[in-house]
Amino acid sequence: MVYYLSSNEKKRLFKGYLNKARRDPVSDMWRGWSWDRPPVEPPYDDITLSIYEVAGQYCESGRDVYLRRVEGIRRPPNPRMLRGYVLHRVVEEVVTRAKVIVYSEGRVPGQFLIERLMEDSKNVINKILDPLDLSKESKEQLKRRALSLWRFEAWQIAASLDRVSSSHREMGLDALVNIAIPFVVEHKLDGSFLGLSGELRVDAISMGVVLDLKTGQKYPFQELYTTGYALVLEALNEIPYDVGCLVTLDFTPQESPIIKRWFHLIDEPLRQQFIEERDEKMRIVAEQEDPGVSKSCPPDCPYSDVCGV
């Protein structure tokens, strides 16, 4: 499962990253609960940004934010974005349906859970794919990958359910679900305390770790996504979130999922960088200042025709 941690990863998380966070704690001034005072306090009251607009540095100059928010130029999502949307939806659907089945059917065997999850898999995936503006060939490949991911997730969840059920026979149903499927997916968050959107969705939270699923190339700046969500969670819950995890998802030529997890501390430098990016993007919108064309543009940028690159 994309969000299940191996025993070695758990050991590295608790003995490594969390120990480091305790030894060198983040100052309160860089915690999300300090949203009511600088430097975390947002500089504008009437502007809100998405996490993507702050953390995404595919456009290095931030001109994409200017074109979208100031010029009002909208673009449909490109194929890379649509691929990410579909695979995120698959993970959300499988996890949510697995929890619903266990809550409604009780302590079921893993094989029963797999069979129930696979019953509607093709129909659900088709409903996700049908409205999307993709070529027939792209849809067919994405359908194969989505079904492969669905099957993989179902087997992983079922195995975890069997393992927990066999070792905790007297455990209540709610505890069983929370230990066998120990994460919340697509959790909605209100980021308005930090000048962010009130409709944020964090990919997953597990054991105090903020997880973000990436279905394309991994970039160093993507740690700003988990940092932004951690700040929002701290503002809402007033408890620390010190570790982030980027989960990369790719596929073999046979369409089998390849999953890697990259842990990182959500330390003061990352928090400062996120806040600085937020303030600068807010300034661009407030002052309606065109930051100019980026020195380096991704080949599938939806604004390439506007920028003439």
From 160, 180, 200, the end of a domain falls on 180
- At residue 296, the pLDDT reads 86
Nearest to 110 by CA among 170, 179, 157, 178: 157
Same domain, 49 and 105: no
Same domain, 21 and 156: no
From 180, 206, 227, the end of a domain falls on 180
Same domain, 33 and 111: no
Same domain, 135 and 278: no
Q: 224-234: string of b/e by CB count within 10 Å (b at 16+)?
A: bbbbbbbbbbb
pLDDT tens string 12-22: 998 999 999 99
Same domain, 61 and 86: no
- The amino acid that residue 266 corresponds to is I
C-alpha neighbours within 13 Å on the C-beta side of residue 166: 8
Q: Average pLDDT, whole number, for the chain?
A: 96
Do 259 and 57 contact (CB within 8 A), yes or no? no
- Does residue 305 sit within a domain? no
Same domain, 131 and 278: no
- At residue 244, the pLDDT reads 98
Phi–psi pair at 132, nearest 5 degrees: -80, 145
Same domain, 236 and 96: no
Same domain, 142 and 48: no
- Does residue 89 sit within a domain? yes
pTM over 0.85: yes
Same domain, 68 and 96: no
Same domain, 136 and 61: no
* Residue 123: domain span: 79-180
- At residue 22, the pLDDT reads 93
- Does residue 221 sit within a domain? yes
Same domain, 199 and 282: yes
Same domain, 219 and 272: yes
Nearest to 164 by CA among 232, 97, 107: 107
- Does residue 309 sit within a domain? no
The partner residues of 89 in beta bridges, in order of sequence, read: none
- At residue 298, the pLDDT reads 86
Domain count within the chain: 2
What would the two tokens of residue 171 be? 């455990």
- At residue 300, the pLDDT reads 86
Q: What is the mean pLDDT of residues 152-177?
A: 95
pLDDT tens string 205-230: 999 999 999 998 899 999 999 999 99
From 180, 199, 232, the end of a domain falls on 180
